[in-house]
């Protein structure tokens, strides 16, 4: 991943910090990604990575310290 923000997602590897998250939760709805990041018990939203082109991404931390990205794909995902 580039050190410069990527056009289609609006953030770069540098924005993920170190160590980088090892998991991502993908959903189709931007509001659902926001709710996962900001309203889920035991989850701390560390940063809004991007709200670029309707594709919202958030850097999150679980209670055990593990990091993940909550992001929207803009369409349904399995």
Residues 18-47 have pLDDT tens digits of 999 999 999 888 999 999 999 999 999 999
Beta sheet of 23-27, edge-to-edge order: 23-27, 67-72, 55-62, 43-52
| Residue 36 domain boundaries | 13-72
- The reply to whether 3 falls in a domain is no
> Phi and psi dihedrals of 34, rounded to 5?
-60, -45
Task: Please check whether residue 56 is in contact with residue 72, taking contact to mean a CB–CB distance below 8 angstroms.
Answer: yes
Q: Are 72 and 30 in contact (CB under 8 A)?
A: yes
Global confidence as pTM = 0.84
Q: Does 77 map to a domain? A: no
Asked if residue 6 is part of any domain, the answer here is no
Domain of 55, CATH number, reads 3.30.720
66-77 pLDDT, tens digit per residue, is 999 999 987 765
The domain tally of the chain equals 1
Residue 61 inside a domain? The answer is: yes
Whether residue 33 is contained in a domain is answered as: yes
């Amino acid at each position: 991943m580039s050190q410069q923000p990527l056009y289609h997602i609006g953030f770069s590897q540098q924005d993920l910090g170190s160590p980088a998250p090892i998991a991502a939760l993908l959903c189709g709805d931007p509001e659902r990604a926001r709710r996962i990041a900001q309203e889920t018990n035991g989850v701390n939203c560390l940063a809004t990575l991007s709200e670029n082109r309707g594709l919202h991404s958030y850097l999150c931390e679980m209670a055990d310290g593990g990091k993940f990205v909550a992001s929207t794909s803009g369409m349904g995902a399995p």
